[in-house]
Structure 1
Amino acid sequence: MITVFGEGRGFRVVWLLEEMVLPYRLRPVDLLAGVENDPEFLAINPAGFIPAIKDGEVIMVESIAIMEYVMARYGPTPLAPQPRDPVFPLYQQFLHLGEAGLATSMYFVGGARHIAPEGERNNWSARQAMSVFESRLGLVTRQLERTPYVAGEAFTAADISVTYALLQARRNGGVIYGAVEDAYIARVTGRDGYKRAMDTCQDTKAWAAARGG
C-alpha cells in the first residue's frame, strides 16, 4: 500500500489515488511543529519537505513526479494520455505548468503575504512571483476558453495539478478569478474523487473552509 506523507501538495497525490481507486494511507506531517521532531518522516525525506511517498521499497518526493510514477506504475489510466495521443502535448505542458509556473510562484507570494515582516509583504520578489503566476494563468484561461479541461475534452491528471494551484492562489494569495476559471474550478472540484480527497485531507479541508472554500 502507498503511504502518502503530508498534505499540502500531497493533496494532489491523494486526489490522484482517489481518482484511480488505489489503496493508500495518509500519514500526517506537522511542519509547524518542526520535522526535526519527526524522525520517521526524516528517514523518508531527509530534506524535510512534503509530500513524499513510500510504496514498498520505493521512496519519492515532489508531487508531480509522484503522480507520474503512480500513473506509470499502476496504469494505464485515462488520467495520463499516451504519448501518441493528440492531446498529450497539452497534457504534459499543463501537468508541469501547474507546479512550475503556478503553484511555485504562489508559494512565494503566500509566504510574503502571510509570514514576512509587515514591511516586506509586497516586496520586489513577491511582485515578481505574482507576475509570473498571472502570465501562466493566462495560458490556462486561453485554453479553458476553448476546451472544458486543460488538455482538451477529458479530465486528466493535468487538471489535478492546475486546480490545486488555482485553489492555493485563491485561498492563500487572494486571487480573484473570472467566469471561465470559476466555472472550471466548480466543474473539477465537483468530482467524487476530489470530494473523497478532501474528506481524507482534513487539514486541507479546514484550511479551505477558513479561507472561503
Structure 2
Amino acid sequence: MITVYGEGRGFRVIWLLEEMGLAYRLRPVNLLDGVENDTEFLAINPAGFIPAIQDGEVTMVESIAIMEYLMARHGPTPLAPDPHDASFPAYQQFLHLGEAGLAASIYFVVGARNFAPKSEAKNWSAGQALSVFESRLTLVTRQLARTPYLAGEVFTAADISVTYALELAQKGAGVTLGEAEQSYMARMQAREGYMRAMDACPSRKAWLAKTPTQ
C-alpha cells in the first residue's frame, strides 16, 4: 500500500489517489511542532519537508513529481492526457504552474503574514512573492475564460495542482480571487474525489474552515 507522509501539499497526492481509486494510508507529520524528533519521517526525507511517499521500494518527495510518478506507474489515467493529445501542452503547463508559479510564491506570503513579526508581515520579499503569484494567476484567469478546466474540456491532475495553490492563497494569505477562480474552485471542491480527500485530511479540513487571513 502507498504511504503518504504529511498533509499540506500532500493533499494534492491524496486527492489524486482518491481520483485514481488507489489504496493508501496517510501518516501525519506535524511540521509546526518540528520534525527533529520524528525519526521515522526523517528516515524517509532527511530534508524534513512534506509530502513524501513510500510505494514499495520507492521513496519520493515533491508533490508534483509524486503525482507524475503515480500516474505513470499506476496508470494509464485520464488525469494525465496522452502526450499526443491536443490538451497535453496546457496540462503540462498548469500542472507545474500550480507549484512553481503559484504555490511556491504564495507560500512565502503565507509565512510572512502568519508567522513573522508584525513588522515583517508585509515586507519587501513578501510583496515580491505576492506580485509573482498575481502575475502567474493571470494565466489561470485567461485559461478559465476559454475552457472549464485548465487542460481543456476534462478534469486532469493540473486542476488538482492549481486548486491547491488557489486555496492556499485564499485561506493562508487572504488573497481575494476573481469570480472565474471562485466558480472554478467551487466546481473542483464539489468533486467526490476532493471531498473524500478532505475527509482523509482532518487537519487541512479544519484549517480551511477558518476565517481567511486578513
How high is the TM-score relative to the length of structure 1?
Answer: 0.98
* Partner SS for 2:70: helix
Residues in 2 aligned to 1:211 and 1:179: alpha-carbon distance in whole angstroms: 19
Match of residue 204 from structure 1? 204
State whether structure 2 residue 85 is matched by structure 1 residue 85.
yes
Residues in 1 aligned to 2:211 and 2:56: alpha-carbon distance in whole angstroms: 36
Offset of residue 211 of structure 1:
3.2
Letter of the aligned partner of 2:169 in structure 1?
Answer: A
Match of residue 155 from structure 1? 155
Offset of residue 177 of structure 1:
1.3
1:22-47 deviations in whole A, cap 9, x for unaligned? 00000000112211111000000000
1:157-192 deviations in whole A, cap 9, x for unaligned? 000000000000000010111211111001111000
* Partner SS for 1:210: coil
Match of residue 68 from structure 2? 68
* Partner SS for 1:25: strand
Match of residue 10 from structure 2? 10
Residues in 2 aligned to 1:143 and 1:193: alpha-carbon distance in whole angstroms: 23
Letter of the aligned partner of 1:139 in structure 2?
Answer: L
Gaps of 5+ in 2: none
Match of residue 119 from structure 2? 119
Letter of the aligned partner of 1:83 in structure 2?
Answer: P
Letter of the aligned partner of 2:164 in structure 1?
Answer: Y
Q: Work out whether residues 198 and 204 of structure 1, in 8 Å CA contact, stay in contact via their aligned partners in 2.
A: yes
Match of residue 195 from structure 2? 195
Match of residue 48 from structure 2? 48
How high is the TM-score relative to the length of structure 2?
Answer: 0.98
Match of residue 182 from structure 2? 182
Letter of the aligned partner of 1:122 in structure 2?
Answer: K
Letter of the aligned partner of 2:102 in structure 1?
Answer: L
Residues in 2 aligned to 1:135 and 1:34: alpha-carbon distance in whole angstroms: 33
Residues in 2 aligned to 1:33 and 1:110: alpha-carbon distance in whole angstroms: 18
Match of residue 108 from structure 1? 108
Q: Work out whether residues 113 and 173 of structure 1, in 8 Å CA contact, stay in contact via their aligned partners in 2.
A: yes
* Partner SS for 1:162: helix
Offset of residue 68 of structure 1:
0.2
Residues in 2 aligned to 1:50 and 1:211: alpha-carbon distance in whole angstroms: 24
CA RMSD of aligned residues (A): 0.7
Letter of the aligned partner of 2:13 in structure 1?
Answer: V
Q: Work out whether residues 172 and 211 of structure 1, in 8 Å CA contact, stay in contact via their aligned partners in 2.
A: no
Gaps of 5+ in 1: none
Name the count of aligned residue pairs: 212
Residues in 2 aligned to 1:38 and 1:49: alpha-carbon distance in whole angstroms: 12
Q: Work out whether residues 17 and 23 of structure 1, in 8 Å CA contact, stay in contact via their aligned partners in 2.
A: yes
1:35-63 deviations in whole A, cap 9, x for unaligned? 11110000000000000000011000000
Residues in 2 aligned to 1:104 and 1:47: alpha-carbon distance in whole angstroms: 17
Letter of the aligned partner of 2:203 in structure 1?
Answer: D
* Partner SS for 1:36: coil
Match of residue 129 from structure 1? 129
Residues in 2 aligned to 1:33 and 1:117: alpha-carbon distance in whole angstroms: 19
Match of residue 168 from structure 2? 168
1:107-134 deviations in whole A, cap 9, x for unaligned? 0001111111111111110000000000
